[in-house]
Amino acid sequence: MSLIQLNRRSLIKFGFLLLIVAGIVFLGIKTAPWLIEHVKNPEYIRKYLSGFGSYGFLVYILIQAIQVIIVIIPGDIVVICAGFIYGIPLGFVLSYVGLMLGSLIVFYISRFFGYEMISRMIAPDKIKKISKLLNSSKGAVGLFILCCIPFIPKDIMMYVAGLTPVKASRIFLAYGLSRIPTTLIWVSVGANAYEKNMLGMGITIAVLILLLIVVYLLGRNYRKI
């Protein structure tokens, strides 16, 4: 393949990247203010979704996926809404599907458009070290720790992971498993809040505290690995 063909291919990919970035920015400008305003009022979201009838499930999944793509929207609050609106079993499934769908999209956007550019700026040996770390048990533990810390931007990790040669199957297995505990906890918070179940809320908070203790202990051991 000639240098001219490579440059042309790079320019085409760069053009598509600009279009996607512009689309995400436009989506953020149009969607983020509405979500940030109303996501704190789950009852409003409930009425909004009920207006779509049987398609309300799909609309919620889309909202959750958009939250992941835009990143700046607080994801844990969107998950709490799922529990408030749909209860624990269904709320968990819908929220988890939305999270993974959004993560899948951002990972492959980042990988398709970003890795080629990053590989030209970072030395191959450094990329190899990063890939080895992310593909190791230490990388999986670190990912789990980050995903279990409340109210930190977890979704941006998939953008970063897409810039590395880490195996997609491994990153999604680790990421998918890592998102289960906190997703279930925040869905439970929303469900218990709707039902005004103080006992259930107390149990959920106790589980959250226990999870944070486990994360703290894992974090201490993680530094020793």
Q: What is the DSSP string of 146-164?
A: HHHSTTS--THHHHHHHTS
Instruction: State residue 6's pLDDT score.
Output: 47
* Rounded Cα gap, residues 22 and 17, in angstroms: 8
Question: How many distinct structural domains can be found in the chain?
Answer: 1
Whether the full predicted model's pTM is greater than 0.85, yes or no, is no
* Rounded Cα gap, residues 179 and 158, in angstroms: 12
Q: What percent of the chain has pLDDT over 70?
A: 65
Burial of 118 (0-12, 13-18, 19+ CB in 10 A): middle
Cβ atoms of 72 and 32 closer than 8 Å: yes
pLDDT in tens, 89-104: 899 999 999 999 998 8
Range of the domain at 182: 3-224
